[in-house]
Amino acid sequence: MQLEKGGPGGRAPLPSLLYRGAGEAGEPEDGGKREMVTEPWTIGRRYRGYIRAKWAVIFATLLATILLMLYAVVAGSANLSVADVVRTLLGKGDARMNVIIWNIRLPRVLAAVVAGMGLSVAGAVAQSVLRNPLASPFTLGITQGAAFGAAVAIFFLGAGGVRNMEHVFINNPYVVVISAFTGALATTLVVIFLAKMFRATPEALVLSGVALSSLFQAGTMLIQYFADDVTVASIVFWTFGDIGRATWRDLGIMTVVVLAATLYFMHNRWNYNALDSGEETAKALGVDVERVRLSGMFVTALVTAVIVAFLGIIGFIGLIGPHIMRRLIGGDHRYLIPASTVFGGFILLASDTVGRVILSPVILPVGIVTSALGAPVFLYVLMRGYRR
């Protein structure tokens, strides 16, 4: 059941809007006594300003992402100018420019944005339905479950191969996607089972994710131990987390899945707002908690599986994006979902661009960069939770 816009669980609390001189969390900015605002037009004006500020953050992030996309197309070991890029996009470039831009740069840049969007919005929803600020596809073991599923497909179904010493590839991505989705879904069901049957705490769920990650990593290493050189190369290459392997076909599949998932999450935004108030409150408001939780985690697993199947393991995007956006605009999912989506694309594109230019012409896998950025954020969120 969808909550109506004006329902009790629909709108985020506005304590700071109802008092003159109130700062963050409604505290007086000057330390003095708060004076409650009773004029309806004043409350309405402040609320509109409050909403405009949220949209300003979203549009600023979107603009920054677009500008970074333009830079990412130009940046790299090949010396390209903005004029070269524009000329090539207009169909007036030479053969070399066409190959670099249309076959290498554009698919890579767009895949980074789409994958970042999907992982970030999946993290935002996972944190909501599990009521755990540390939840994300990576920390809950969903990514590693998908990785194990993909390794099974590569080893047992022959979905990987080697063209030459420098080109390892996945020759049957659809089989890998299905197998990765199975692994991700299995992990998701285990997490939900633990949360429901044992009433596990948020910390226990994260620790369960760590345990599941170790289990799946052990399974992947076992497969590598018995695999031949070609299969091992395919699995290792795949687990690096590399945006550069994306093709236009891969980009199309990821875009459809991420767009459909984001629309589904936005459709349930009021339900997620209600869940933030607690299960009992959500049930009292008419929310089918079990359905919302199961469907949310199912779609999260699907998004994660598709992205991981095509690009490999990319960690912490689902933790960094939602956490930073929640700090900037609050926990109202009407704004948190689009904000996390856009910011996730920005983070992953920025990470991939750094990996391409910092040691140029050597290109670092994006998984290395995101893990280096995400580990400090993970520790910060963990320590902040313990202080509370």
pLDDT tens figures, 202-233: 667 778 888 888 999 999 999 999 988 878 87
Residue-level pLDDT at 236:
80
Which residues sit opposite 167 in a β-bridge? 164
Q: What is the mean pLDDT of residues 116-133?
A: 91
Choose between 279 and 386: higher pLDDT: 279
Interaxial angle between packed helices 229-239 and 202-226, expressed in degrees from 0 to 180 and rounded to the nearest 10? 150
Q: How confident is the model at residue 117 (pLDDT cuts 50, 70, 90)?
A: very high
Burial class (CB in 10 A: 0-12, 13-18, 19+), 161: middle
pLDDT tens figures, 274-297: 998 888 888 898 998 888 988 998
Residue-level pLDDT at 262:
97
Q: What is the mean pLDDT of residues 300-327?
A: 88
- Output the average pLDDT for the chain: 82
pLDDT tens figures, 49-79: 888 999 999 999 999 999 999 999 998 777 7
pLDDT tens figures, 332-374: 999 999 999 999 999 999 999 999 988 878 888 898 888 888 7
- Tokens coding 220: 């992947």
Residue-level pLDDT at 268:
95
pLDDT tens figures, 141-152: 888 898 899 889
Q: What is the mean pLDDT of residues 243-252?
A: 89
Residue-level pLDDT at 18:
47
Query: Residue 267: pLDDT above 60?
Result: yes
- Tokens coding 30: 């000057």
pLDDT tens figures, 150-173: 889 888 887 665 554 445 556 666
Q: How confident is the model at residue 27 (pLDDT cuts 50, 70, 90)?
A: very low
Query: Residue 1: pLDDT above 50?
Result: no
Q: What is the mean pLDDT of residues 74-94?
A: 82
Residue-level pLDDT at 121:
96
Query: Residue 246: pLDDT above 50?
Result: yes
Query: Residue 10: pLDDT above 70?
Result: no
Q: What is the mean pLDDT of residues 103-131?
A: 93
Query: Residue 2: pLDDT above 50?
Result: no
Residue-level pLDDT at 272:
94
Query: Residue 26: pLDDT above 70?
Result: no
**C-alpha to C-alpha distance for 88 and 235, rounded to whole angstroms:** 35
Residues in contact with 355: Cβ distance below 8 Å, sequence separation at least 6, in sequence order = 363, 364, 365, 366, 368, 369
For the chain, which domains are there? 81-384 (1.10.3470.10)
Residue-level pLDDT at 388:
54
Residue-level pLDDT at 20:
47
